[in-house]
């Protein structure tokens, strides 16, 4: 068979292969039903690039699986401003409500910013938040108005967005205010105080997260069902019977694989082809793989199978094209 005919045959096979893969993927999507599920993650470290990826993967996983709620159990001394901003942005863009539950001890500095960006803010009794003035990498306080005013606005803006105490939000940054759970609840900085995950879900079942219109803007508030009529409602997420939902914990890949974390948290470093293809294969291949670490299911296996098929098909075309180029090069060398 000539190279030209081989390319034609391989291309036809690849097209059929990709069509089959697409059919499998669509079929897998049709199988997926929104489960009564809460996706749960734990953060017990400084906020860094790794934490950014962990939270972003969790939000994408919850969206892929159709979870009702995401719960982030947070205990952190803070972290890098860029990482905090990225995590806040991820929470802002999430289509699924995110609860940040401060337990067991504290979410100070950058952790308080993340708490303020959550749809539902919860603290365990005795836990603490605050001390949000920025510091340099050497630990020296940063007092330059350019940075302090920006971070104050970031904190206050998210407090306003989620109908929380804006004055306290400013004081977290300007005066390094610290509050324990009971004080934070009294001053309307948080929504609930709970002693455990199950206790929090039991309390939450009486509430509805409301997105409401405020002038030309929109805001969020956690309200009791009988209070919903007080708002110009744009959207709502009812947490009725959320305490009966199955809790699925998603662990960061480095927690159960004894390999360097950057291989999983930053797959872009593996090779240039992966760096180029990652945005396209992330939801088709990476998210289903991550979902298998939470719980296996038929639709995930089918989606994963279709993604692998598609990659193999595209790879075949590349190999044939490379072979064709090699033959042409050899001919040119002979003629030369």
3-class DSSP assignment, residue 336: coil
- Residue 248: inside a domain: no
Cβ neighbour number for residue 136 with a 10 Å cutoff: 8
- Residue 88: inside a domain: yes
| Alpha carbons 34 and 31: distance in angstroms, whole number | 10
Answer yes or no: do 72 and 190 share one domain: yes
In the prediction, which pLDDT does 159 show? 98
The pair of structure tokens assigned to 239 is 């947490």
3-class DSSP assignment, residue 137: coil
| Alpha carbons 253 and 260: distance in angstroms, whole number | 10
- Residue 179: inside a domain: yes
Answer yes or no: do 69 and 158 share one domain: yes
- Residue 189: inside a domain: yes
Instruction: Give the chain's radius of gyration (CA, Å).
Output: 25
Answer yes or no: do 174 and 278 share one domain: no
In the prediction, which pLDDT does 255 show? 47
Q: For the chain of 336 residues, list the mean pLDDT of each consecutive stretch of 10.
A: 62 66 57 74 93 92 92 96 96 97 96 98 97 89 93 97 97 97 97 96 96 96 95 96 94 51 45 52 65 63 62 67 65 58
In the prediction, which pLDDT does 137 show? 81
In the prediction, which pLDDT does 128 show? 97
| Alpha carbons 260 and 247: distance in angstroms, whole number | 28
Answer yes or no: do 26 and 55 share one domain: no
Residue owning tokens 């959550």: 118
- Residue 126: inside a domain: yes
Whether 42 and 69 have beta carbons less than 8 Å apart is answered as: no
Answer yes or no: do 123 and 184 share one domain: yes
- Residue 301: inside a domain: yes
Answer yes or no: do 22 and 168 share one domain: no
Answer yes or no: do 191 and 321 share one domain: no
What is residue 285's DSSP assignment? I
| Alpha carbons 306 and 217: distance in angstroms, whole number | 42
Answer yes or no: do 46 and 192 share one domain: yes
| Residue 263 belongs to domain spanning | 1-35+256-328
- Residue 230: inside a domain: no
Q: Please identify, among 188, 205, 222, the residue that sits at the C-terminal boundary of a domain.
A: 205
**Domains held by the chain: number:** 2
Answer yes or no: do 277 and 201 share one domain: no
Could you tell me how many helices (H) and strands (E) the chain has, helices first?
12, 11
In the prediction, which pLDDT does 158 show? 98
Q: What CATH number did the domain enclosing 42 receive?
A: 3.90.226.10
Task: Tell the burial category of 289 from Cβ atoms under 10 Å away from its Cβ (0-12, 13-18, 19+).
Answer: middle
């Amino acid at each position: 068979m000539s190279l030209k005919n081989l390319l034609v045959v391989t291309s036809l096979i690849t097209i059929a292969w990709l069509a089959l893969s697409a059919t499998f993927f669509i079929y897998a999507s049709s199988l997926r039903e929104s489960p009564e599920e809460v996706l749960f993650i734990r953060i017990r470290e400084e906020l860094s690039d790794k934490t950014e990826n962990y939270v972003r993967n969790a939000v994408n996983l919850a969206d892929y699986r159709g979870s009702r709620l995401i719960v982030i159990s947070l205990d952190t001394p803070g972290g890098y401003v860029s990482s905090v901003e990225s995590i806040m942005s991820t929470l802002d863009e999430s289509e699924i409500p995110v609860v940040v539950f401060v337990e067991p001890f504290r979410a100070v500095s950058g952790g308080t910013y993340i708490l303020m960006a959550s749809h539902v803010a919860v603290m365990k009794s005795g836990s603490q938040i605050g001390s949000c003035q920025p510091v340099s990498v050497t630990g020296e306080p940063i007092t330059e108005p350019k940075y302090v005013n920006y971070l104050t606005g970031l904190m206050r803006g998210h407090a306003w967005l989620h109908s929380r105490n804006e004055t306290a939000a400013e004081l977290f940054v300007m005066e390094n205010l610290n509050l324990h759970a009971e004080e934070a609840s009294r001053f309307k900085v948080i929504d609930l105080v709970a002693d455990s995950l199950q206790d929090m879900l039991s309390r939450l079942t009486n509430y509805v997260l409301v997105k409401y219109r405020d002038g030309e803007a929109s805001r969020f508030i956690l309200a009791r069902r009988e209070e919903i009529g007080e708002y110009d409602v744009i959207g709502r997420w009812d947490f009725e019977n959320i305490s009966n939902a199955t809790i699925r914990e998603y662990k960061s890949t480095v927690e159960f694989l004894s390999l360097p974390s950057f291989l999983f948290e930053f797959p872009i470093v593996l090779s240039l082809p992966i760096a180029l293809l990652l945005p396209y294969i992330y939801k088709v291949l990476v998210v289903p793989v991550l979902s298998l670490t939470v719980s296996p299911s038929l639709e995930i296996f089918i989606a994963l199978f279709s993604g692998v098929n598609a990659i193999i098909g595209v790879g075949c075309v590349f190999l044939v094209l490379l072979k064709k180029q090699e033959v042409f090069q050899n001919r040119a060398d002979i003629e030369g």
